[in-house]
């Protein structure tokens, strides 16, 4: 069973104040100063003008002028007599704090997956207003089928929130597979029955809302960067194990996508030449030894099940995990072997990127064999540490709504750029 001691999302425990990266990024210099001021206030939750002055190292006069404009334009508002969290309280009347005006720029984040889709609605300050999930048949689908399912999901979400489509200014979508973030097209996805799916234009034509599409591991990484453990970190990696194996990476406090926007496909690095068949069609991928379908494939043999009459992969894995906990050696061997392959993948991540932290996430992290001490010990033994402290590893077995919340960060970022970055 799921270990309830596994860390939950910050939102489940009251959550951090504000949303968005806390650290100053080298890429911020290219953004207008008014956008930097706005994003600092949103990240802090509330901030006095003096705090903005110190954080951005700009003059008090500039902050006064910029914040006055942002207030007049409806982006910020003053909160009388409320000192900012963590701010310095002086003698006399507490400083007037600034906070984001949350209303008027709501966004939706969607996580598409094999067995259920999830959606979250947030306001401009990143506060979650409503959520919805939609169970779906675990089969490959056409673009029209995916669009129908998203239509049903969005309708349920808006009903739950008491809103209409006109209340939403943008949508972010996380999709497993190879995703071109710039064009919103999907060269390949395990969800799709066809290659080269042009999701962005189809979505915008049907729903009339701007949409931003990315790989689902990237949106989960954005969830960590905007709402979770990575808010105050410059460099960290997120490795996900669910129906597939994915990875997201933050370098220099910014999401790294690669030259064509489709990098960091950890699940498809090769760990065995001419090895097990991966659902991408190639052999020897890491995913072919770790993902749901890979473990279920071996479980059918270990448990003596007829592969033509198999349970769903989820049910098969639950049975396999129960058998392993009961001492079934064949079941234990499957998990331990998967853990060894995971240690190889993690060692490669550390060797290539030297992150401050690796976050292991996804539904399969319920299975503690995949992050047992021997797995982490082997990971460390495979890296050239040279006496330095080892890379930290944390386990975040979060649910689908956190992935969807990461997709809202995708949309919030785009809306902020358009409103304050000179894009409109």
Are 181 and 64 within one domain? no
Are 148 and 54 within one domain? no
Separation CA 224–CA 407 (nearest Å): 11
Note every long-range contact of 159-164, with CB atoms under 8 Å and residues 24 or more positions apart, other chains counting. Answer: 160/121, 160/130, 160/131, 160/132, 161/121, 161/129, 161/130, 163/106, 163/121, 163/130
Are 198 and 66 within one domain? no
Give the mean pLDDT of the chain: 87
> Is 161 domain-assigned?
yes
Looking at 51, 74, 100, the residue that finishes a domain is 100
User: What is the CATH number for 91?
Assistant: 1.10.10.10
Predicted pLDDT of residue 93: 61
> Is 21 domain-assigned?
no
Tokens of 233: 């970190």
Tokens of 182: 């710039």
Separation CA 278–CA 291 (nearest Å): 9
Decide if pLDDT at 13 tops 50: no
Q: Report DSSP letters for 377-414, one per residue.
A: HHHHHTS--TTSPPPEEEEE---HHHHHHHHHHHHHHH
Q: What residues make up the domain containing 328? A: 102-424
From residue 165, alpha-carbon distances to 157, 161, 168, 206, 207 in Å are: 10, 11, 5, 12, 8
How would you classify the pairing of strands 106-111 and 168-175? parallel
- Which of 382, 391, 393 lies closest to 354, judged by CA? 391
Predicted pLDDT of residue 44: 94
Are 92 and 121 within one domain? no
The answer to whether 169 touches 105, Cβ cutoff 8 Å, is yes
> Is 328 domain-assigned?
yes
Are 70 and 145 within one domain? no
Residue pLDDT, tens place only, 195-220: 999 999 999 999 999 999 999 999 99
Minimum mean pLDDT range among 55-59, 105-109, 119-123: 55-59
Q: Counting every residue, how long is the chain? A: 424
Predicted pLDDT of residue 371: 84
Please compute the mean of the pLDDT values over residues 22-35 and round it to a whole number: 79
Decide if pLDDT at 10 tops 60: no
Looking at 100, 128, 156, the residue that finishes a domain is 100
Decide if pLDDT at 260 tops 80: no
> Is 413 domain-assigned?
yes
> Is 26 domain-assigned?
no
pLDDT band at residue 12 using 50, 70 and 90 as cut-offs: very low
Predicted pLDDT of residue 131: 98
Are 56 and 202 within one domain? no
User: What is the CATH number for 258?
Assistant: 3.30.420.40
Distant-in-sequence, close-in-space partners of 349: CB < 8 Å, separation ≥ 6: 237, 239, 247, 266, 355, 358
Predicted pLDDT of residue 303: 76
> Is 371 domain-assigned?
yes
Predicted pLDDT of residue 5: 32
Separation CA 123–CA 101 (nearest Å): 9
Please compute the mean of the pLDDT values over residues 369-388 and round it to a whole number: 87
> Is 4 domain-assigned?
no
Are 253 and 293 within one domain? yes
DSSP code of residue 344: H
Phi first, then psi, for residue 71 (nearest 5°) are -70, -45
Predicted pLDDT of residue 65: 97
Looking at 67, 82, 100, the residue that finishes a domain is 100
Are 386 and 304 within one domain? yes
Residue pLDDT, tens place only, 117-127: 999 999 999 99
Tokens of 126: 């990143």
Separation CA 186–CA 200 (nearest Å): 9
Are 194 and 318 within one domain? yes
Alpha helical stretches, state H, 177-243 = 199-207, 216-227
The pLDDT > 90 percentage for the chain reads 65
Separation CA 71–CA 96 (nearest Å): 13
Are 44 and 107 within one domain? no
Are 80 and 129 within one domain? no
Minimum mean pLDDT range among 81-85, 242-246, 396-400: 81-85
Please compute the mean of the pLDDT values over residues 391-398 and round it to a whole number: 85
Are 95 and 172 within one domain? no
Separation CA 290–CA 297 (nearest Å): 11
3-state secondary structure 131-145: EEEEECCCCCECHHH
Task: Specify the number of domains making up the chain.
Answer: 2
The answer to whether 94 touches 82, Cβ cutoff 8 Å, is yes
> Is 15 domain-assigned?
no
Residue pLDDT, tens place only, 144-200: 999 999 999 999 999 999 999 999 999 999 999 899 999 999 999 989 999 999 999
pTM of the model: 0.87
């Amino acid at each position: 069973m799921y270990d309830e001691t596994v860390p939950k999302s910050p939102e489940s425990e009251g959550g951090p104040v504000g949303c968005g990266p806390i650290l100053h990024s080298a890429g911020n210099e290219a953004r207008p100063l008014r956008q930097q001021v706005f994003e600092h206030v949103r990240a802090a939750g509330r901030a006095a003008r003096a705090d903005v002055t110190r954080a951005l190292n700009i003059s008090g006069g500039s902050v006064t002028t910029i914040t006055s404009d942002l207030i007049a334009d409806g982006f910020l508002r003053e909160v009388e007599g409320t000192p900012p969290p963590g701010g310095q309280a002086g003698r006399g009347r507490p400083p007037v704090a600034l906070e984001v005006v949350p209303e008027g720029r709501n966004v939706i984040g969607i996580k598409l997956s094999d067995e259920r889709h999830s959606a979250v609605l947030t306001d401009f300050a990143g506060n979650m207003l409503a959520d919805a999930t939609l169970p779906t048949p675990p089969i490959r689908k056409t673009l029209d089928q995916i669009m129908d399912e998203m239509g049903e999901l969005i309708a349920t979400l808006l009903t739950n929130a008491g809103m209409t489509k006109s209340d939403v200014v943008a949508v972010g979508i996380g999709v497993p597979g190879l995703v071109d973030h710039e064009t919103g097209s999907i060269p390949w996805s395990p969800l799709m029955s066809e290659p080269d799916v042009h999701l962005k234009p189809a979505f915008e034509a049907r729903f009339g809302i701007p949409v931003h599409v990315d790989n689902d591991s990237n949106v989960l990484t954005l969830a960590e960067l905007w709402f979770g453990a990575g808010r105050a970190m410059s460099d960290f990696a997120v490795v996900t194990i669910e129906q597939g194996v994915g990875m997201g990476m933050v370098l220099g406090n910014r999401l790294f996508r690669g030259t064509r926007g489709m990098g960091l496909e950890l699940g498809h690095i090769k760990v065995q030449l001419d090895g097990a068949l991966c659902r991408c069609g190639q052999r020897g991928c890491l995913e072919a030894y770790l993902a749901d379908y890979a473990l279920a494939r071996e479980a059918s043999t270990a448990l003596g099940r007829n592969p033509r009459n198999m349970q769903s992969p989820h049910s098969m894995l639950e049975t396999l995990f129960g058998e392993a906990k009961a001492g079934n050696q064949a079941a234990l061997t499957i998990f331990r072997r998967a853990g060894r392959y995971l240690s190889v993948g993690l060692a490669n991540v550390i060797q290539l990127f030297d992150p401050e932290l690796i976050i292991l996430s996804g539904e399969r992290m319920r299975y503690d064999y995949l992050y047992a001490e021997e797995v982490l010990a082997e990971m460390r033994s495979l890296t050239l540490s040279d006496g330095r402290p080892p890379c930290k590893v944390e386990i975040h077995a979060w649910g689908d709504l956190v992935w969807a919340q990461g997709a809202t960060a995708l949309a919030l970022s785009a809306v902020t750029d358009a409103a304050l970055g000179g894009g409109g």
